[in-house]
Amino acid sequence: MSPTENDLRDTSAERFLRLVQAKRRGTLKVYLGLAAGVGKTYRMLQEAYDLHQHGVQVLLGYIETHGRAGTVAQLRQVPLLPRKHIFYKGRALEEMDVEAIVQRRPQVVIVDELAHSNVPGSRHEKRWQDVEYLVSQGISVITAVNVQHLESLHDQVLKITGTDVTERIPDRLLKLADEVVNVDVTVGELRARLEEGKIYDPAKVPTALANFFQPENLLQLRRLAVREVAQLLGRQVETGSGSAPAVPAARRNDDRLLACINSNDRAAKEIIRKTSRLADRFGAAAWYVLYVQTGRETSARIGLATQRHLLDNLQLATELGAQILRVKDDDIVGAITRVAAEKEATLLVCGITSEKGLWGQISRRGVTNDLLRAVARRNQELDIFLVTY
């Protein structure tokens, strides 16, 4: 390794060490990648070794090498925590031992596979919750995740890859991170690694190349990852948070977004995720999710599955940072315009099906059409953003 590469790594370790020493709560650093195999775990292990060389008490809390020779070779000198065994359905399964980490109280712990779902019976349902807990206990965490696991990007990733990613993390985790690093490689390099057997077992390579790892899929995922890190860095620069240099905070704008949903499960999820992204991009002062319950949607008239989906969607909105508004009214358009005026909303986000053509749907009589007319009549500073589904 060249002296320049060593210097850069030393600088990175020293910067993170300053963050660790400056805070009572743990510091959170996230390595973000476009897909498996870009080198996130390898980079974390390099940093763990560098911190260890600086005299920092580092612990490898959970590492998944996937048998990759280069990654395995990085397991050097830094203490590795034994995994905890949990019996589930007659099988002994391995998980990260959160209690042992807290008991040992390292300065920094390395936690791989952030989006992982824990075995039932674990302290938390999700590993990202383990990480939140460790940070709250004053332990700094370095972790890694791929961009497709971000909750607000689920619909975009599904459209890009055709893969329904079931393990997801709330966006707020990245927003709370002190540092987010994009681990980037070219599409050609990543596919070459896959073909050489450096990512998956050789038997899985042809299927991966023909599906998730198609060049166009990887290119779009790469763009998502780069854009995500750029937005996070921009926010840190504006607020002077994280490891970015402190500058006078930019004044937050007055945008207030109002997402309008009903009991349609798929449409509601897309609207909520899209509004979350818009609010983040605009730096909105606030964003709300409004559910207008009509007489046809009382608990006695809609099925239990629909009720459960609705509650799940409202929980999703809460996790993404929305304020929930629920009103009962048979006049949906009137309720929306009234709430929009009360909350001084500047942008309404509504859904519209694209099955029979967008313009055909807009021109037909219906809630969206009536809402457009009502907003135009009120002559207020209120725009409408339509989410097709």
Are 114 and 30 in contact by the 8 Å Cβ rule? The answer is yes
Tell which residue, 259, 325, 340, has the closest CA to residue 293.
Answer: 325
Asked, colleague to colleague, whether 3-239 and 256-388 share their fold, the answer is yes
For residue 301, with 0-12 CB atoms within 10 Å meaning exposed, 13-18 middle and 19 or more buried, which class applies?
Answer: exposed
Q: How far apart are CA 135 and CA 132, in angstroms?
A: 5
Full DSSP string of 91-142:
EEEEE--HHHHHHH--SEEEE--TTPBPPTTSSSSBHHHHHHHHHHTT-EEE
Residue 310: what pLDDT?
92
Q: How far apart are CA 380 and CA 360, in angstroms?
A: 26
Which tokens belong to 376? Answer: 């135009």
Laid out side by side, the sheet with 286-293 consists of 323-328, 286-293, 256-261, 347-352, 383-388
Question: Position of tokens 């807990």?
Answer: 133
Which tokens belong to 187? Answer: 């599409």
Please give the span between the terminal C-alpha atoms of the chain, in angstroms, as a whole number.
Answer: 50
Q: How far apart are CA 109 and CA 130, in angstroms?
A: 12
3-state secondary structure of 231: helix
Q: How far apart are CA 350 and CA 383, in angstroms?
A: 11
CATH 3.30.450.40 given to domain 3-239: no
**Phi, psi at residue 44, to the nearest 5°?**
-65, -40
Per-residue pLDDT of the chain (389 residues; tens, 9 = 90+): 555 556 666 667 777 766 665 557 899 999 999 999 999 999 999 999 999 999 999 999 999 988 888 888 888 789 999 999 999 888 989 999 999 999 999 999 999 999 999 999 899 999 999 999 999 999 999 999 999 999 999 999 999 999 999 999 999 999 889 999 999 999 999 999 999 999 998 999 999 999 999 999 999 999 999 999 988 887 766 666 554 444 444 445 689 999 999 888 788 999 999 999 999 888 888 999 999 998 888 777 788 888 899 999 999 999 999 999 999 999 999 999 999 999 999 999 998 876 555 444 444 557 878 888 888 887 667 899 998 87
Q: Measured at the alpha carbon of residue 249, what is the angle toward residues 248 and 254, in degrees to the nearest 5? A: 145
> Looking at residue 169, what DSSP letter applies?
B
Q: How far apart are CA 205 and CA 194, in angstroms?
A: 7
- Domain 256-388 -> CATH class: alpha beta
Residue 251: what pLDDT?
41
Strands 28-33 and 140-146: parallel
Residues with Cβ within 8 Å of residue 201, at least 6 apart in sequence: none
Break the chain into its structural domains and give their ranges.
3-239, 256-388
Q: What is the 3-state secondary structure (H, E, C) of 278-343?
A: HHHHHCCCEEEEEEEECHHHCCCCCCHHHHHHHHHHHHHHHHCCCEEEEEECCCHHHHHHHHHHHC
